[in-house]
């Protein structure tokens, strides 16, 4: 990893440049506030060279936790910006559970417990674990109560933004059934700093805003949203991240001397129901589940590989996924058209686009999750390729939000923090393993 020394230096510099004091901007212009799973990954990167600052990052995120335990997807610590939705648009004060600090009214994939455990294993932070464990437990408890519609232990999301894969074609059919009306006045900010062809279409964005307006009108009350939200999806990515996070939360509970009974129950129910809800045995894919229609969403994206990250897929199902899809140049594998891994959507999907937000580009955070999963199932050759591709993309094009899998060119925000953070994690971990 000696030839990545310069990349490591640039990654540290990028996180320093995006530092706002108590939190790190995901991108210097496009994303000026604090995002949930961005900050978790950023803290992981920071922990390699500035552990106190990494812990400050997490503490800042936790200041936005709602009274019912929900950890929001955005915390607005600082002055107004040109980002939309702005704090006022969410109208979270309609909810009695809203915190004092301004936040959004939805959540994001709960990777934080896993990140904290990973930091703790590398650089023991027992006092910090004691401090934050109650916050993590409350968030996971909220997910398993407010967001478990059927007692399966699997949680649902109410907005594409909660998936972390905002513009994924997984959501197109569900969203197409929504006809926005009486939309509040708004002005998009996401195309000011990034080319429109790399961002969601106007009609999709209007539906995003329409959903938020529904949430505002129902005061973010979970039971009312369960009854009224037209978007109610059990997401493979979200539940895979949550399953692994529950395992890590359980390990942290043992560290601090707390009972694991509640977490054990969540894990048992998720394990019992995961394949029944998500596994399509005919196609050999993990697919998201639409609670409104009672059927799986038949769109093939790279999220199908996330159960490997969770460690919840059987060895046989993992092997089928890898052989049929990962190694197939018509689906995901680099070949005639693709030169880098891994495209976020199968090339066979008619909505595949190499540069549009979550419609096909490579995401470094997704690659990192998949590297963890592939390694745990023994696919070391694929791990090596995915790490090499990820680092080469960042070395060649800088720390971009996402990358075109055809030529590797960067897309989205410049100087993207979680790409820099994952670069640090990859380089330092490789150095540690070689030692």
| Residue numbers annotated as active site | 166, 401
Triad 97, 98, 103: Cα angle to 5°: 150
CA 415 – CA 393 distance, rounded (Å): 13
Alpha carbons within 13 angstroms on the beta-carbon side of residue 341 total 24
* Of residues 278, 25, 313, the one with CA closest to residue 156: 278
Structure tokens at 361: 């580009």
Alpha carbon of 217 to those of 17, 93, 94: distances in Å? 39, 12, 9
Residue identified by tokens 């694929």 is 382
376-409 residues labelled b (16+ CB within 10 A) or e (exposed): ebebeebbebbbebbbebbeebbbbbbbbbbebe
> What SS3 string covers 354-370?
CCCCCCCCECHHHHHHH
Q: What backbone phi and psi angles, to 5 degrees, belong to 29?
A: -120, -45
For residue 113, give the DSSP letter: H
Helix, strand, or coil here: 97?
coil
CA 212 – CA 206 distance, rounded (Å): 10
* Of residues 372, 111, 381, the one with CA closest to residue 242: 111
Structure tokens at 26: 């995901």
Structure tokens at 253: 């509970």
CA 162 – CA 225 distance, rounded (Å): 14
CA 308 – CA 372 distance, rounded (Å): 8
| CB contact at 8 A, 253 and 263 | yes
| CB contact at 8 A, 349 and 169 | yes
For residue 411, give the DSSP letter: E
* Of residues 355, 361, 321, the one with CA closest to residue 341: 361
CA 61 – CA 40 distance, rounded (Å): 9
For residue 276, give the DSSP letter: H
Q: What is the DSSP string of 155-205?
A: --BSSGGGGT-TT-GGGHHHHHT----SPPP----TTSSS-GGGS--HHHH
């Amino acid at each position: 990893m000696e030839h990545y020394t310069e990349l490591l230096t640039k990654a540290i510099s990028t996180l320093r440049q995006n530092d706002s004091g108590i939190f790190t901007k995901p991108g210097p212009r496009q994303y000026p506030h604090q995002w949930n799973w961005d900050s978790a990954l950023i803290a992981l990167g920071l922990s390699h060279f500035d552990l106190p600052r990494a812990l400050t990052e997490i503490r800042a995120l936790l200041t936005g936790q709602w009274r019912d335990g929900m950890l929001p997807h955005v915390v607005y610590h600082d002055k107004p910006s040109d980002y939309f939705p702005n704090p006022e648009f969410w109208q979270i004060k309609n909810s009695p559970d809203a915190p004092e600090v301004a936040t959004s009214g939805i959540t994001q994939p709960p990777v934080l417990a896993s990140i904290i455990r990973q930091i703790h294993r590398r650089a023991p932070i027992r006092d910090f674990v004691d401090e934050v464990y109650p916050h993590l437990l409350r968030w996971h408890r909220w997910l398993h109560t407010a967001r478990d519609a059927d007692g399966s232990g699997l949680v649902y999301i109410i907005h594409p933004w909660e998936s972390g894969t905002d513009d994924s074609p997984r959501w197109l059919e569900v969203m197409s059934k929504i006809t926005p009306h009486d939309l509040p006045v708004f002005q998009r900010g996401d195309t000011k700093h990034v080319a429109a062809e790399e961002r969601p279409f106007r009609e999709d964005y209007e539906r995003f805003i329409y959903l938020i307006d529904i949430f505002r009108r129902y005061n973010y009350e979970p039971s009312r949203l369960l009854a009224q939200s037209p978007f109610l999806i059990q997401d493979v990515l979200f539940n895979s991240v949550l399953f692994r996070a529950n395992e890590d939360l359980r390990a942290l509970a043992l560290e601090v001397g707390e009972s694991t009974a509640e977490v054990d129950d969540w894990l048992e129910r998720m394990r019992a129901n995961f394949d029944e809800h998500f596994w399509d045995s005919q196609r050999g894919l993990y697919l998201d589940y639409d609670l409104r229609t009672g059927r799986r969403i038949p769109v093939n994206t790279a999220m199908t590989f996330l159960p490997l990250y969770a460690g919840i897929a059987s060895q046989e199902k993992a092997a089928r996924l890898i052989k049929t899809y990962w190694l197939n140049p018509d689906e995901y594998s680099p070949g005639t058209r693709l030169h880098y891994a891994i495209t976020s959507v199968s090339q066979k999907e008619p909505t595949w686009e190499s540069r549009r937000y979550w419609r096909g580009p490579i995401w470094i955070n997704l690659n990192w999750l998949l590297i963890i999963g592939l390694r745990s199932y023994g696919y070391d050759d694929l791990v090596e390729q995915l790490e090499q591709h990820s680092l080469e993309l960042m070395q060649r094009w800088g720390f971009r939000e996402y990358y075109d899998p055809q030529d590797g060119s960067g897309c989205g925000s410049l100087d993207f923090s979680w790409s820099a953070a994952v670069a640090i994690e990859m380089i330092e971990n490789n150095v540690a393993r070689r030692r």
